[in-house]
Amino acid sequence: MGADTAEIADLIARCAFRDRLAFRDLYRRTSAKLFGVTLRILRDRSEAEEALQEVYVKIWQRADRYVAGRYSPISWLVAVARNHSLDILRARKPQSEDIDMALDVADAGLNPEQAEAARGERSRIDNCLGQLDVEKADAVRGAYLDGYSYEELSERHKVPLNTMRTWLRRSLIKLRECLSA
């Protein structure tokens, strides 16, 4: 474990004991990275800023759940930010919304030429997804279109978490190869 990693782990441990100075230092050292995570997922600066504050409340409340050595402290912090941001996305969209409807709404602001290009691109993506095993294609859609966490997908497909991560990583590699062909 590097010196910086050990220091972040120590700060989280001190937060578990309600050390406000450690929390302030943890925020100072990690907030830029976690803001990047929330902004990338939410794609709205003010919503990402608000989410970041909520993420740090969760970190303060759950610091005692971090197990040093099991995960890198940054990975744990990023997971808290990612999962919170995905929860916000899920709450934002109606439960009955279909993926195709969501994609059609995204296409609504395009001119006819752009809409046709987008349909062609979507068709290529659907074709490449069709070349994956059904379960793996479903997992990719769940993770990247529906916003399910890896944990939720591993439970849904009844596979270990690391297996789900491997499925997604390998599936994305196959998709990239298919789309670049």
Reported confidence tier of residue 110, pLDDT bands at 50, 70, 90? low
The tally of CA atoms less than 13 A away on the side-chain side of residue 24 is 3
Cβ contact 148:106 at 8 Å: no
Give yes or no for residue 181 having a pLDDT over 80: no
Higher-scoring residue by pLDDT: 92, 49? 49
**If you average pLDDT over every residue of the chain, what do you get?**
82
pLDDT value of position 94: 55
> Could you read off the pLDDT of 148-167 as tens digits, one per residue?
788 888 888 899 989 999 99
How far apart CA 26 and CA 73 sit, in angstroms, is 11
Domain 99-180, CATH number (from 1.20.58.710, 1.10.150.530, 1.10.10.10, 3.40.50.300): 1.10.10.10
C-alpha span between 116 and 123 (Å, rounded): 10
Of 88-92, 96-100, 116-120, 158-162, give the range with the top mean pLDDT: 158-162
Report the candidate in 55, 77, 65, 58 with the shortest Cα–Cα distance to residue 16: 65
pLDDT for 107: 47
Q: Where are the domains of the chain?
A: 3-92, 99-180
Residue 141 contacts residue 129 (beta carbons within 8 Å): yes
DSSP 71: B
Output the pLDDT for position 112.
Answer: 65
CATH topology of domain 3-92: Rna Polymerase Sigma Factor; Chain: A (1.10.1740)
pLDDT band for position 61 (cuts 50, 70, 90): very high
For 114-147, the pLDDT digits (tens) are 656 666 677 777 788 888 888 888 888 887 766 7
Return the pLDDT at 109.
52
Within its chain, how far is the Cα of 42 from the centroid?
10
Q: What is the pTM of this model?
A: 0.53
What was the pLDDT predicted at 2? 66
* 122 vs 73, higher pLDDT: 73
